[in-house]
Structure 1
Amino acid sequence: MDPLTGKKPSAAGVLAVKVENIAAARPQVGLGSADIVFVEEVEGSLTRLVAVYHSRFPSRLGPVRSARSTDVVLLPLFGTPGLVYSGANRKVQRSIDRASIRALPRSDRDGSRVAPHNVFVDLDAIAAEAELRPARTIGWTFAAADPRWAAAPKDGDVSGRVGGDRFTFAPAGGRYVVRWNGQPYADGDSGTKATTDNVVMMSVKNAPDGNADVNGARSVRSDTTGRGTVVIYRDGRRLTGTWQRSAPSKPLRFLDGDGRDLPLAPGRTWVLLRG
């Protein structure tokens, strides 16, 4: 069983990509191929996506933007993943250089898009060149069926806010179609809508990280170590539990009230970091 998807194991490593998530960046390309997507709050109540690829690497992906301090604590969950990003301020870059992350900065431009929303990468080529380590367990468990899920309350359309953005997940064909502020993530090349099998909403602590953008808006760091409430949605049902992670290098577990792991549905997962 693959540690990131619960499906057929892949021998490939892990690449995380910082994907821009504002109106000017739409439509994104390659997002629907991600095995895991984390939604983080950044500055000015905006959000940015950390798309994690392991089973498939799209040949075109973007727009890629800069890294944030949240990534430095979050990404060592995967061992030593590659991080594809376009720039970082000096403080964040120093933290990345010291972390268990392989920095893979890129600045390849798509002339048909307006800067700075035009950095696109060939992730398949990067994966072939990067000499990534195999994926390791991240603490997640998967099961196609489980008695706790069979008895869980039904819940249709799922909705959650991160920063100033609302994300909704509408059931469709056994999965959820992902929407941002009411608009589906339709791939800019293929038109295919991004879907997920699991929606995970983690309550985290947000705090200013000492950085700010050019307009003076303070950047936010979401802490994904410690513990907090988690709400998981799959198969049109909902369960509430606790997330737990003792350090950046340690697994992230989702537990029920008895301390047992809550299994995700095999497939893709979107995680909302809600501060």
Structure 2
Amino acid sequence: MRMPARSRWMAAVGVLAALALASGCAAERELPVPTATPEYVPVFEEPEPYALAPLTGEQVAVDALDHPSIAAKIDNNINARPQIGLGRADIVYEILVEGGATRHIAVWHSDIPDEIGPIRSVRPVDPDIVSPLGGIIAYSGGQYRFVVAMQNAPVYNAIHGQADTAETIFRGTNAPAPHNVIVRAPQIVAQQRKLDPPPQLFAFAESVAAATATKEGSPTARIGLQFSVGNTPAWEWNAESERWVRFMHGGAVDRDASGDQLAAVNVVTLRVPVQVIQSIPTVGLRGSGEAWVSTGGATVRAQWSKSGLTDTIRLIDEHGVAVRLAPGNTWVELVPLAGDVSFRAP
């Protein structure tokens, strides 16, 4: 017996409703069960403390350089080359001596080689250079008046031939005498560890890009220096290493005993007066004068000044603002007023 039309319609609606209810229940069972979101707890890590190396402006671990610097009067005679440890010095000063030649005062603090040298005798300007550092100066002797002046400076004098340097300053086999006096630098530093570390000598930027010369200077490919007619060292910019690389008179590559070419992050060139007193060129480093600072392939003009024995050399730009060097090693060229300085653009 056939169902009435209304009954068939109601039955169909019921079936559809049941299917929908079943489908909804299935869908509800398939939904993922929500989980609680964990609370975010930020983690803060304390940065490692650091200090700035006073002679290079580089970041170092706190107390890593809690020891004195050691400076040495380094021979620059042709028979003394290549010098030992010169490429690892924080600062190197080049100074005119007799016969138009030059010698160096090199300073090590952040990286002290096992041996440095060869060392030679002191000259009148040397106390002005090393007194701001304190620490140690190693040399082979000199004229009595120059040795007395150095002994009166606020530094420990490590002199070849003294009883207390018998084990630390010796004649090596690198060259014939007098170009063979070598210093065991770490041992002397350990013996004089009670001495204070050096102060900061220059103003430093945080990077090469932030240094004054890099930002404001004129692009420079080559720095030419004339200490005398027969002594014309030079620096050339090496973009790959971001260093100035050094050449001797005549264009030969200047290397140290490691075989590496001598290089510098900063080259500071000072024009200084020189008087010949009793046959000795006497460099004046108290007063003021013209200067250039070369960093990052560029050079900026400056004025240098130094007042007293223990005062540092100040470098001020044309606006009266301190010139900031880049972190790294520095060569300071004390070029006589009678000499010459030139800068070649790329």
TM-score under structure 1 normalisation? Answer: 0.91
Deviations for 1:164-208, whole angstroms, at most 9, x for unmatched residues?
4212112221001112212223222x2122210011110111112
Q: In structure 2, how many angstroms separate the alpha carbons of the residues matched to 1:70 and 1:147?
A: 28
264, 277, 280: which is aligned to 1:196? 264
The 5 Å alignment of 1:189-268 reads 190-210=258-278, 218-268=279-329
Q: Say whether 1:137 aligns with 2:200.
A: yes
Gaps of 5+ in 2: 1-51, 161-168, 337-346
Q: 1:242 to 1:112 in 2, by over 3 A?
A: closer
| 1:161 corresponds to 2:216 | no
User: 1:71 deviation in Å?
Assistant: 0.2
- Structure with higher RCO (Cα < 8 A, 6+ apart): 1
Matched, 1:96 2:150: yes
Amino acid at match of 1:136: P
Task: Please say if 1:61 is aligned against 2:116.
Answer: yes
Deviates more, 1:121-130 or 1:192-201: 121-130
Contact 2:213 2:296 in 1 (8 A): no
Shift of 1:150: 2.1
Q: For 1:35-54, what aligned pairs fall within 5 Å after superposition?
A: 35-54=90-109
Whether contact under 8 Å (1:140, 1:252) holds in the other structure is no
Contact 2:243–2:265 (Cα < 8 Å) also in 1: yes
Structure 1 contact 44–219 (Cα < 8 Å) conserved: no
Q: Deviation of residue 146 (structure 1)?
A: 4.5
How far 1:238 sits from its partner (Å)?
A: 0.8
Partner residue in 2 for 1:77: 132
The worse-fitting range, judged by mean Cα deviation, of 133-142 and 193-202 is 133-142
Please tell me whether the aligned partners of residues 115 and 183 of structure 2 are also in contact (alpha carbons under 8 angstroms).
yes
Moved more, 60-69 or 233-242: 60-69
* C-alpha displacement of 1:112: 4.8
Deviations 1:189-238 (A, max 9, x none): x212221001111011111243xxxxxxx111211111101011111001
Q: Which moved more, 1:92-101 or 1:146-155?
A: 146-155
Provide, for residues 47-98 of structure 1, a one-character-per-residue CA deviation record: whole Å limited to 9, x for no partner.
00000111011112221111111102221121x2311001111111111121
Unaligned runs of 5+ in 1: 211-217
- Paired letter, 1:256: D
Equivalent-residue separation in structure 2 for 1:231 and 1:262 (angstroms): 10
Conservation of the 8 A alpha-carbon contact between 1:12 and 1:55: no
Structure 2 counterpart of 1:2, from 38, 43, 53: 53
Instruction: Say if 2:246 is the partner of 1:178.
Output: yes
One-letter amino acid matched to 2:67? A
* Contact 1:4-1:140 within 8 A present in 2 as well: no
Report the secondary structure of 2:182's partner residue: coil
Larger Rg: 2
- Answer yes or no: is the 8 Å Cα contact 1:39–1:162 preserved in 2: no
Give the distance between the partners of 2:275 and 2:88, measured in 1 at CA. 31
Cα contact 1:158–1:169 (8 A) shared by 2: yes
Q: Counterpart of 1:149? A: 214
TM (norm. structure 2) is: 0.73
2:176 is aligned with 1:114? yes
Structure 2 CA distance for partners of 1:187 and 1:146, relative to 1, 3 Å: closer
Q: Return closer, same or farther for 1:35/1:112 CA change in 2, 3 Å cut-off.
A: closer
- Which residue type is aligned with residue 117 of structure 1? H
Percent identity between the aligned chains?
29
Q: Report the Cα distance in structure 2 between the residues aligned to 1:228 and 1:147, rounded to whole angstroms.
A: 19
Matching residue's letter, 2:218? P
Aligned counterpart, 1:87:
141
Letter of the 2:304 counterpart: W
Closer/same/farther in 2, CA of residues 86 and 233 from structure 1, 3 Å limit: same
RMSD of Structure 2 on Structure 1 (CA): 1.6
Paired residue for 1:215? none
4+ long deviations beyond 6 Å: none
Distance 1:223 1:142, change over 3 A: farther
Structure-1 separation of matches of 2:196 and 2:297: 35
- Contact 1:28–1:185 at 8 Å: present in 2 too? no
Aligned counterparts of 1:232 and 1:63: Cα–Cα separation in 2 = 28
CA drift of 1:148 comes to: 6.2
